[in-house]
Amino acid sequence: MAARANKYAEISQDGGRAQGGRTAQQRSVDDWLPITSSRNAKWWYSAFHNVTAMVGAGVLSLPYAMSELGWGPGIAVLLLSWIITLYTLWQMVEMHEAVPGTRFDRYHELGQHAFGEKLGLWIVVPQQLVVEVGLNIVYMLTAGNSLKKFHEIVCKGRNCKNIKLTHFTMIFASVQFVLSQLPNFDAISTISLAAAIMSICYSTIAWGASLDKGWKSAGDVMKYHPRETTAARKVFGFFEALGAVAFAYAGHNVVLEIQATIPSTPEMPSKKPMWKGVVVAYVIIALHYFPVALVCYWAFGNTVKDNILMTLDKPKWLIATANMMVVLHVVGSYQVYAMPVFDMIEMVLVKKLRFPPGLPVRLVARTAYVAFTMFIAITFPFFGGLLGFFGGFAFAPTTYFLPCIMWLAIHKPKRFSLSWCTNWICIVLGFMLMILSPIGGLWRIIQNAKDYNFYS
């Protein structure tokens, strides 16, 4: 550990080796890579980047998750997830500079410090890639569904041509082909801010329109028991719902990369403004997650669809607006989650394969990535099942218990102390989530695939 600490002590505040330990070429590469190219962000950048990263496709599925869980378990899972993920997010913010004079700007760099150079990469990188690539695939599908819903609402009663979901997904992808060429987080800050505002707006519309519908149909008898009929289907549905909730709390996978954009000095370490932004973001998240989940479930019961905006249809102009807001939001969210992937791809191409840093590398690599996520989205457009599968398979480790394991490895709290016990509780709960929820998500995908015509 002492040798490793000495090695990391050589790292400077800019995320690379100190000036004496790096060549001009190495410094120029670090200045070109998306994550380490700029450190001018303020605390409010942290706030809206985290809102953009977290409030997204997941919030739209929370009423559906409630219909699988029921009132009691649903509220408990939502509240427990909010508390656990806030705690693990605090841990990651603290560990960003766990070694004095060192900044772990990427999730895998912190993993390497906690588990070793090679093992850290193998533990963190596959899981982080599954999360970020999975989110980008789901965002492609979310945007396609929302564009299709917008088109259906606007064209209802008119003689409009029917457009396939595949084509709407390709329309959204065409926008991402252009935006993916923006170099770093600072360059997408305006897009991310607009995305955060859109997420707040459409979440408010979702629960506001549901509240209005619920009051108007107060005399109707709503069914709040689990939507599935057989015992086996109820169990699978319960597992799927756990994954959907986990999916809704997915911002941890980019938190270190967001914090890397904030300047840091011994007097004002980056964790102070970063945590301020996280607290603001989590207050905003609570003010939208809980109303959407509870009010929309109250209004529709177990008839709610896996995307609440697909359930609502009145007032037409408001629901059409909300769906377009979703599209604008995922335009920014896609970029927030794609940027660390771009950083990994470009780091391998430039540092390992020795391609010269520049526009050709960025153009080819990022265009190929957007095309890949578009292809997967139009091939497997199963919104609810994808949320459940990805939510448990990768989101649970990187969000619920991997930060706790790294905290134990780095800080080594005393056995049976409050910190030790808290972390082990989170690890056990997160591990159970990782095992159970992909089963439900995969079951849902299989059920939906039976009657699906591919590329229809």
Digit-coded pLDDT (tens) for 233-273: 778 778 878 878 877 887 787 888 888 888 888 778 888 98
Question: Is position 303 within any domain?
Answer: yes
CA dist., res. 138 & res. 339, Å (int): 16
Say what the pLDDT of residue 75 is: 92
Say what the pLDDT of residue 450 is: 61
Domain holding 189, by residue range, is 34-449
E-state strands within 130-244: none
Digit-coded pLDDT (tens) for 277-298: 999 999 988 988 999 999 988 8
Cβ neighbourhood burial of 185 (10 Å; 0-12, 13-18, 19+): buried
Q: CATH number of the domain that 57 lies in?
A: 1.20.1740.10
Question: Is position 226 within any domain?
Answer: yes
Question: Is position 367 within any domain?
Answer: yes
Question: Is position 335 within any domain?
Answer: yes
Say what the pLDDT of residue 440 is: 72
3 state SS of 17: strand
Digit-coded pLDDT (tens) for 307-354: 787 787 777 888 888 888 889 988 988 998 898 899 889 988 988 888
Name beta bridge partners: 17.
Answer: 11
Q: Which helix (H) or strand (E) holds 323?
A: helix 316-347
Sign of CA dihedral 47, 50, 51, 52: positive
Say what the pLDDT of residue 438 is: 77
User: Structurally, how many domains does the chain consist of?
Assistant: 1
Question: Is position 3 within any domain?
Answer: no
Q: Provide DSSP, 196-228.
A: HHHHHHHHHHHHHHHHHHHHHTTTS----S-S-
Say what the pLDDT of residue 241 is: 83
Digit-coded pLDDT (tens) for 8-47: 333 333 443 333 345 666 667 766 777 766 777 778 888 8
Digit-coded pLDDT (tens) for 124-172: 888 888 888 888 888 888 888 889 888 888 887 677 788 888 899 999 9
Say what the pLDDT of residue 176 is: 94
Question: Is position 364 within any domain?
Answer: yes
Residue 106: CA count within 13 A, CB half-sphere: 24
Say what the pLDDT of residue 426 is: 92
pTM summary value: 0.81
Question: Is position 438 within any domain?
Answer: yes
Question: Is position 27 within any domain?
Answer: no
The separation between CA 333 and the C-alpha centre of its own chain, rounded to angstroms, equals 8
Digit-coded pLDDT (tens) for 195-228: 888 888 888 888 888 888 877 765 565 667 666 6
Digit-coded pLDDT (tens) for 359-386: 889 999 999 999 999 998 888 776 555 6
Residue 147, C-beta contacts closer than 8 angstroms, at least 6 positions apart:
168, 171, 172, 323, 327
